[in-house]
Amino acid sequence: MTSLTGTPRVIAGGVALTVLAIACTFLLDPYRNYQLALVAAYLCATAGLTLLIGLTGQLSLGHAALMAAGGYGYALTANALTDAGVEGLPRFILGLIAGVVAAGVIGLLLGLAAARLHGPYLAGVTLALVIALPAFTSVFVGVFRGDQGVQIAYDGVPEALSALIAVEQWQAWVAILVAGITLTLLTLVRNGKAGLRMRAVRDDEVAARLSGIPAGRVKVHAFLVSALGAGAGGAVLCFVTQSVSPGAYTLAFSLLLVVAVVVGGLGSILGAAIGSALIVLLPWLVQTGTGALSLPGELQQRLSGNLPVLVFGALLIVVTAVWPGGIRGALRGRKASGTAASGTTGHSPSEPISTEPLTTEPLTIQPVSTESER
C-alpha cells in the first residue's frame, strides 16, 4: 500500500468513498435513504459550485437554474425514450447525458459572459437566469408544462435486486454512484493543472496573464465544469423524484446552494458534502423540533416554512464569524492543532498540489480577487 499518487489515488479514494456510502444505505430506513439520495444529488451541484467560487472566485447565483436544466433535460429525454420503448439503464444513461449536456450548454454561455463580467455584474446575470426560469417554463408551456412541471415514469428496482433492496435504497445507489463519479472528476480537475490555473487567475489575474495563462478561457472552463456538475445533480434529482418543476428551483434554493458551500467551507469538496447534508437535514430537523414543541397550530404553520431559512441565515453568520474557513476549516483546524502540524493558516502557492483524496488544504475565504485588479 505504498504511494498511490495523483490521478490513481484520487480515483481509488473516490471508489472507496462511493462503496462506503453505498454500504451505508443498508443501515438506513427507506426515508433516510431517500434523504441520502437527495444529499447525493445536491452534492453534485454544490461540489461544482464550491469549485467555481472557491477556485476562480466567480459567484453564481444561478446554479438552481443549471440544476433545472439538468432536470428538464433528463425528464424530456426520458419521456421521449419511454415513448420510443427504451427502458431501464439505457434510458437513465441517455437521460443523464442529455441533462448534463443541457446544463453544460447554458453553463458555457454563462461562462462566456463570466469571462467578461466581474463580481456583482456576473452575480446579476446568473440571478436573472434563475428568476427567469418560471416565466420561461410558462411561455413554453407545451414543452415544459408550466408550474406543474414534467413528470417521468417510475424507475423501479432492477429485478435481480428487487428481493434485496427497497426502491429508495436503489435510488440512493444510483444517486451515490453519479455523485461519486462527478466528485471524482471534479477533484481531478481541481487537483490538476486546470485547478492550479484557476487559483492563479483568482489570486491575481494580471500575474496569471503575464505567466501566459489565458484567464478568460480558464474562467469559461470553470463555469462549464461547474455547470456539468449541477446538470448531473438536477438529472439525478429528477430520477429520484420522478418530476421536475420550476417550483423546485427557486431563487431561495439557489441562494441556499451558495450558503451551503460557504458554511461547509469554500473550495473544499468535503465542505460541499457538509453543506448538502445541511440543505436536506436542517429543514427536516427544524420541523421535527417545532413539531415536538407542541406549539399552537397556526404558529407552527408559519414557522414550518420560514424557520429553516432563518436558521440557515443565522448559521451562515455564526460560521463565517467563528470559522472563516467554514465547518470544513473548523474540522481541519482542530485536527491540525492536535498533531501540531506545521501551521493551519491558508495555503502557500509553493505547496505541492494536495494528495489527500477528495480534499485539499482549506482555502481561507479571500475577498474575491477585486483588490488585485490594478
Partner 1 sequence: MSHRSAPPRSAITVAAASVMLIALSGCSTPAPAGEAASTPGITEETVTIGTHHPLTGPAAAGYASISAATTAYFEYLNEQGGIHGRTIEYVVKDDGYNPSNTQNVVRELVEEDEVFAVVNGLGTPTHTSVLDYLNQKKVPDLFVASGSTSWNQPEKYPYTFAYNVDYVAEGEALAQYAEDEFPGKSVCVLGQDDDFGTEFTTGLQNVLGADGLASVQTYSVSNQDVVAQISAMKAAGCEINMLATVNGFTALAVGTAAKLGYAPQWFSSSSGGDYPTLVTFLGADLAPKLLQGFVSTNYLPFGQDDEWRALFEEINTEYNDDAPFDGNTVYGMSVAYLFAEALAAAGEDPTRESLIEAISSGDLEGNGVVPLSFGDDSHAAFMGVGITTVDGGVQDFVGSTYVSDGKGKVSKDDVEPVSLSNEGVPED
Least distance (Å) between residue 49 CB and partner 1 = 19
Between 13 and 265, name the residue whose CB sits nearer to partner 1.
Answer: 13
C-beta separation of 365 from 332 below 8 A:
no
Nearer to partner 1, 14 or 265 (CB): 14
| Alpha carbons 27 and 25: distance in angstroms, whole number | 5
Q: Which residues, numbered 66-125, are part of the site for partner 1 (CB under 8 A)? A: none
Range in contact with partner 1 (rule: CB under 8 A) among 4-12, 90-98, 196-204, 225-233:
4-12
Indicate if the alpha-carbon torsion angle 280, 282, 288, 290 is positive or negative. Answer: negative
**Which one, 243 or 372, has the nearer CB to partner 1?**
243
Of residues 181-240, those binding partner 1 (CB under 8 A): none
Q: Which is nearer to partner 1, 243 or 320 (CB)?
A: 243
Give, as ranges, the residues between 324 and 363 that touch partner 1 (CB under 8 A): 352, 355-357
| β-pair partners for 151 | 243
Binding segment for partner 1 (CB under 8 A), chosen from 9-17, 113-121, 185-193, 212-220, is: 9-17
Give the interface segment with partner 1, choosing from 89-97, 104-112, 132-140, 223-231 (CB under 8 A): 132-140
Q: Which is nearer to partner 1, 182 or 245 (CB)?
A: 245
Q: Is 156 in the site for partner 1 (CB under 8 A)?
A: yes
Tell which positions 252-291 bind partner 1, by CB under 8 A.
284
Q: Which of residues 15-74 bind partner 1 (CB under 8 A)?
A: 16-17, 19-20, 23-24, 26-27, 29-31, 34
For the chain, the first-to-last Cα distance in angstroms comes to: 49
Tally Cβ neighbours within 10 Å of residue 98.
22
Among 124, 158, 247, 313, binds partner 1 (CB under 8 A): 247
Taking the complex as a whole, the smallest distance from the CB of residue 203 to partner 1 amounts, in Å, to: 24
Q: How far is the CB of 129 from partner 1 (least distance, A)?
A: 16
- Single out the residue of 166, 213, 281, 368 in contact with partner 1 (rule: CB under 8 A): 166
Output 2 or 84, the one with its CB closest to partner 1.
2
CB of 304 to partner 1, least distance (A): 5
Binding site for partner 1 (CB under 8 A): 1-5, 12-13, 16-17, 19-20, 23-24, 26-27, 29-31, 34, 134-135, 138, 141, 145-149, 151, 153-154, 156, 163-169, 241-243, 245-248, 284, 297, 301-302, 304-305, 352, 355-357
